[in-house]
Copies of this chain bind each other. A is one copy, B any other.
Amino acid sequence: MIEIDDPTAEAGLAATVKASKAPAISRAAAILRLLGKRGTPLGVQTIARELGLVPSTCLYVLRALVEEELVAFDADTKRYSLDAGVLTLARAWLRRDQFHDLAQPVLDRLSQEFGLTTLGVQLYGLDHIIVTAMSQSSQNFQLSTQVGSRFPALVSATGRCIAAFGEWPEAQLRPRFDKLRWEDAPSWEEWRAQVAEARATGVAVDRGHYISGVTVVAAPVWKAPGRPSHALVAIGIGSAVRGEGLPRLKEALLAAARSLSEQLSG
């Protein structure tokens, strides 16, 4: 799957910093994300330029992050990179997230039964989604993502899911839809029709639009009434999603999502 740029990194930072009562934290988060995205160690100046920060401020923030072991500092090269402290936080999150725990066995079963890759994702409004659980079947060729990956909200089957059950005004959907990148982008009308179908059936499908040859199915999960908080996703290639397979998969995904919703709200 294709990764996306983080919109908050460059453009929105100035605004976020201004509005906040703790701007150092926005800056720190932006730095962490930048270091994560780049992967290679960066110097103070580079980071500051990239994020539009004052170098001295950037230095102080980095030093604080180093102190907290969220950022590693190489004294020889004077370069900064992510440190293992972020792992400790992630482990704590994984251990306690209800959806993750409940979804994992369900995903394992589904990916086994249908021979495809399944994901549990958390929805963040119209901005993006984050993969929080994953399971792969033992088949040879598999599409793969990792827990922690971010994708734009409205793309693929999950996007139709969000549009179908989020009750968002069209004025908010359209501009975001126009910015998406698909391998074979649907027209706005085509997409609207598919969203309507998702609303009717309870499951959204993307047939080769996001990635050609790949069928993605998504079903919404609710933690509370209102907008769905999570979704179950199945990603299939080849025979797994052809012919009789697809309706059965949709059925199974829908049932699993309903069951999860009940468990989460109870």
Contact = CB atoms under 8 A, between A and B. Distances in A.
Residue among A25, A26, A64 with most chain B CB within 10 A: A25
Interface in A159-177: none
Interface in A1-57: 8, 16, 20-26, 28-29, 32-33, 35-37, 39-40
A76 to B, nearest CB: 8
Interface stretch (A89-97, A186-194, A198-206, A248-256): A89-97
Given A88-B130, A91-B148, 10 more contacts: A20-B60, A21-B60, A22-B28, A33-B88, A36-B88, A36-B91, A36-B92, A82-B89, A86-B90, A92-B148
A97 B84 CA distance: 9
Contacts of A32: 89
Contacts of A211: none
A222 to B, nearest CB: 14
Nearest to A149: B91
A256 B82 CA distance: 25
A64 B20 contact: yes
Interface of A: 8, 16, 20-26, 28-29, 32-33, 35-37, 39-40, 60-61, 63-65, 67-70, 76, 81-97, 122, 124, 130, 132, 146-150, 224
Overall SS of chain A's interface:
helix
Contacts of A96: 39-40, 81-82
B132 A93 contact: no
Contacts of A40: 96
Contacts of A93: 36, 82-84, 86-87
A90 B89 contact: yes
A92 B25 contact: no
B84 A87 contact: no
Given A60-B21, A87-B93, A28 B26 contact: no
A172 to B, nearest CB: 19
A75 B113 CA distance: 38
